[in-house]
Structure 1
């Protein structure tokens, strides 16, 4: 395996590391620049250091947005408008003097799980990232399915009840918002506190969380019976909550009890990687991108 520089572009910080063929090294983060010029200057300086210290042979990048692998352009939108809608892959390759790969951050995280994490024993999976919204990735035969319009894995847009999309129903922040709407006397709380209240018997907290479980259960049920993945991997900080997957599974069982023909029970597992997921997945993407070169 090649020695690579790895970059995970985020709206607040950019993570840098190197890959020695087996493990991540030199992992550190720097505040994300405000302009394209400063962005290019920072990345070029960091890559030049990697070239001198580690003799890297390419640069693997994870980034937000809809990455068009055919054109090397990041389409769509993100918190960093200056990375979009120009040939960023080619321009970075010219600046670095090295081959460059770029893939969407959720797709990178899914590739990391597929290669050596929770999905290492399968060929196909659905990866759901549950945060302030719901995103993710679809993997078919070890390859990311980007979709005809680069919307593969945008599960948060799925309409769940004729009115609300999954990102409005299936996340902890939205569950908190529902709770505060019916309990205006409660000071602002976070997702962990909401789960604690539910465990203590607060019926409003329990109802709000159940709405989240039901939405995620319906989404995963539908994905299982439309795409039929071998595994469904859950990412995002909430994946650390031991109550999450049992709650989703109970919601799915209620659906399966109503649909007698539904013989398959989805296999749902938490992700293995968190902080390093995008970095590790960018390496996998680089190797796939240049496999035939």
Structure 2
């Protein structure tokens, strides 16, 4: 693709900006998420005008929420209330005077893996993006499947404890695990998920207990995907995927669950996602390609 695309990855606290050109991504800016729609349009135009020396062909946008790509509306809820429930795609096209595509951020991560990453060539894959919550994407026969109500990939809503109605996002999030560890240690230090994993490896009993609980939850979530969707690959994304012990641990625990429940012949592969912080921008570029070629 020879086109030059301007890309935005809208997050709750910051927005990443990039350019896709000659099959390469150039990261440009990281701006604070504005407080209003008018401010967002103003900031986007500043970026657009700054890098439009060679004219852009179009704009690709990754964002939170249940994105209706057909009607150009972001449904659901997110930390950015003002982007929801109006024809935002049309508004962006009028702002830039160019074709615009929009897609959910977790779906963009899945599209990046399908296009250029570890889902290439796979008959089917589930991308599980692990962070504050658990999101993701479902890919079947080389296509993104968003579901009847655009809820495909919302793996974090799985209830993994029927007694308490606890969801995967509540127990499988390293961010929530770290907050819980910080609260229980109560030593004045704020810890993150990477800290808890490191402490567990060094023999900290509390950290190991919390790490094991998180891994059990994630493995149960993966098990549910394997027996319901039966993908060829499970791809793990988010900062936690950089931990060297994560994939082997998840594979072992998932295999044990399958064996215990009589499904040990089920064949699957677990890998980390190829792309990390760039995945949403790359996926936004691919969404644009899908809509405009």
Higher mean C-alpha deviation, range 23-32 or range 62-71: 23-32
For 1:62 and 1:232, locate their aligned partners in 2 and report how far apart those are by CA, in whole Å: 22
For 1:12 and 1:178, locate their aligned partners in 2 and report how far apart those are by CA, in whole Å: 22
TM norm structure 1: 0.93
Evaluate the alpha carbon distance shift between residue 265 and residue 201 of structure 1 in structure 2; reply closer, same or farther with a 3 A threshold: farther
Alpha-carbon contact 2:255-2:264 (below 8 Å) kept: no
Aligned-pair distance for 1:35? 1.1
Deviations 1:229-268 (A, max 9, x none): 1211111000000111122112112212212333124311
The count of corresponding residues between Structure 1 and Structure 2 is 290
Aligned-pair distance for 1:183? 5.0
Does 1:41 find its partner at 2:42? yes
Ranges of 4+ aligned residues in structure 1 off by more than 6 Å = none
Higher mean C-alpha deviation, range 24-33 or range 161-170: 24-33
Aligned ranges for residues 232-251 of structure 1 at < 5 Å? 232-251=234-253
Alpha-carbon contact 1:62-1:279 (below 8 Å) kept: yes
Aligned ranges for residues 1-293 of structure 1 at < 5 Å? 1=1, 2-25=3-26, 27-51=28-52, 53-162=53-162, 163=164, 164-179=166-181, 183=185, 187-291=189-293
TM norm structure 2: 0.93
Deviations 1:209-233 (A, max 9, x none): 1111111111111101111112111
For 1:80 and 1:117, locate their aligned partners in 2 and report how far apart those are by CA, in whole Å: 29
For 2:185 and 2:22, locate their aligned partners in 1 and report how far apart those are by CA, in whole Å: 53
Aligned-pair distance for 1:88? 0.4
Higher mean C-alpha deviation, range 121-130 or range 252-261: 252-261
Evaluate the alpha carbon distance shift between residue 182 and residue 279 of structure 1 in structure 2; reply closer, same or farther with a 3 A threshold: closer
Mind listing any 5+ residue stretches in structure 1 that lack a counterpart?
none
Deviations 1:136-163 (A, max 9, x none): 1111222221111111111111000112
Alpha-carbon contact 1:221-1:266 (below 8 Å) kept: no
Evaluate the alpha carbon distance shift between residue 187 and residue 100 of structure 1 in structure 2; reply closer, same or farther with a 3 A threshold: closer
SS at match of 1:121: coil
* RMSD, aligned α-carbons: 1.8
